[in-house]
Structure 1
Amino acid sequence: METAESILAFWFGADSDDARTAEQKKQLWWAKDSAADQEISTRFSACTAAAAQGALDEWRADPRGLLALILLTDQFPRNMYRGLPASFSFDAQALRWCKQALEQGDDHRLRPIERVFLYLPLEHSESLADQEQAVELFQQLCNEVPADQQAVFAGFRDFAIRHRDIIARFGRFPHRNAILGRTSTADEQAFLQTAGSSF
């Protein structure tokens, strides 16, 4: 079984510089790569199931453990079940852990690049209140990082704003409709024809 530290090492690597980490890991984090999806599924699917069943709840006592749980339930399912409804099936649990971490101030015990992924369950939520909180947190994060890293974190903030604006407009993410069997409105169908409508 994987540990919280082995999960974080896989996701973030060993470089202590956040901007270099973001550059080195961007393919893993953001690209649609079937090989990476398969690796994550093979290596981490049992851990994701264990996390969802409460078998790893002891990890919640530590900020890095909570972050590992969030990766298992927010990020990894999007790789393991890409294009399937199951890719979103752990979102509610990830969001609960995200909010627990925020209530405890755990985000301030993590590196800035780690905080990005702690906050992402809010950005993945179809609640406008969660989206507004995500934008606020990403803006704060952008303000706190050193000047030479602000461009990287401004990019994360801008993505949060784009997500928030979609939820403000539609109340949901239209690009999920086909996956989840939801019927798109005419406005959503038109939106889905525009560049950048999917994430």
Structure 2
Amino acid sequence: MDEKPGGKPWQEVLAFWFPEGRALDIDADAHKAHWFWRMRGGAHDDVIRRFADLTATAAAGGLASWESDPEGRLALVVVLDQFSRSVWQGSARAFAQDKAALALTMEGLSNGHYTALPTPWFKVVYGLPLGHCEGADHLARLDLLIRLREEIAAEAPEDLQPIYRSLVRQARDVRRVIKAFGRHPHRNRVLGRLSTPEEEAYLERGDFPHLRAFNGRDGGKD
């Protein structure tokens, strides 16, 4: 993506994914609607139409220059962790960028980029790879994710705190799934993995944390 006059090349991604912008006095119901849109596939068609080529470029390593800026790094996390799931929905490639997204998040937690982000919604999305990327250290990363979300909820504007407390609960629900199975069972079919009998029972229930987005409880997009 070419840089626009007076702007940065990643601004289009952030403006799209965060329609609430940067103002912390956003209406709570409007903010909840934005989260539902982000986490329950409301942006799916627009992501494919507007950002499919950009996502392919990012997946090939072509946007590495974005990493030098805190918000550029966030935009790259959005592309690799979220846009990939729309552009390649239904295929293993949807999750193939998870390790790269996780590496961006972990480095940003250590180099000050995370703390430089100005809004709680930026920080929550920045942390998504901690829960999304499968691996041997998954539980430890989820513990970190829960701590970060607890901090975000405590620091959020008071009228928005119920939304962010719900995201803490969602991360805890995901942790229980990973503790039980060591992976995200709902990905098994797409990734060509055989499900265990226990996973089959879980899948049959269909009560997945990532599909509970603000339906009275919590949820997210995994």
Are residue 25 (structure 1) and residue 31 (structure 2) matched?
Answer: no
Given that 1:125 and 1:131 are in contact with CA atoms closer than 8 Å, whether structure 2 keeps it comes out as: no
Are residue 157 (structure 1) and residue 168 (structure 2) matched?
Answer: yes
Aligned residues: 197
2:14 is aligned, of 8, 17, 24, to: 8
2:83 is aligned, of 53, 76, 79, to: 76
Q: Which structure's relative contact order is higher, taking Cα pairs within 8 Å and 6+ residues apart? A: 2
> Could you tell which deviates more after superposition, 24-33 or 148-157?
24-33
Q: Any residues of structure 2 matched to 1:87-106 within 5 Å, and which?
A: 87-106=94-113
Task: Point out the structure with the larger helix share.
Answer: 1
Partner Cα separation in structure 2 for residue 106 and residue 172 of structure 1:
28
- Partner of 1:32: helix, strand, or coil? coil
Partner Cα separation in structure 1 for residue 30 and residue 103 of structure 2:
27
Given that 1:37 and 1:79 are in contact with CA atoms closer than 8 Å, whether structure 2 keeps it comes out as: yes
Partner Cα separation in structure 2 for residue 195 and residue 49 of structure 1:
31
Q: Percent identical across equivalent pairs? A: 34
1:147 is aligned, of 142, 154, 158, to: 158
Are residue 131 (structure 1) and residue 142 (structure 2) matched?
Answer: yes
Cross-structure match for 1:188: 199
Partner Cα separation in structure 2 for residue 140 and residue 26 of structure 1:
18
TM-score scaled by structure 1? 0.91
Partner Cα separation in structure 1 for residue 104 and residue 181 of structure 2:
26
Letter in 2 for 1:94: A
Given that 2:20 and 2:31 are in contact with CA atoms closer than 8 Å, whether structure 1 keeps it comes out as: no
Shift of 1:8: 0.2
**Which residues of structure 2 form unaligned runs of 5+?**
3-8, 211-222
TM-score scaled by structure 2? 0.82
1:176 is aligned, of 187, 190, 197, to: 187
Residues 5, 50 of structure 1: alpha-carbon distance in 2 compared, 3 angstrom cutoff: same
**Which residues of structure 1 form unaligned runs of 5+?**
none
Partner Cα separation in structure 1 for residue 14 and residue 30 of structure 2:
12
Given that 2:88 and 2:94 are in contact with CA atoms closer than 8 Å, whether structure 1 keeps it comes out as: yes
Shift of 1:21: 5.7
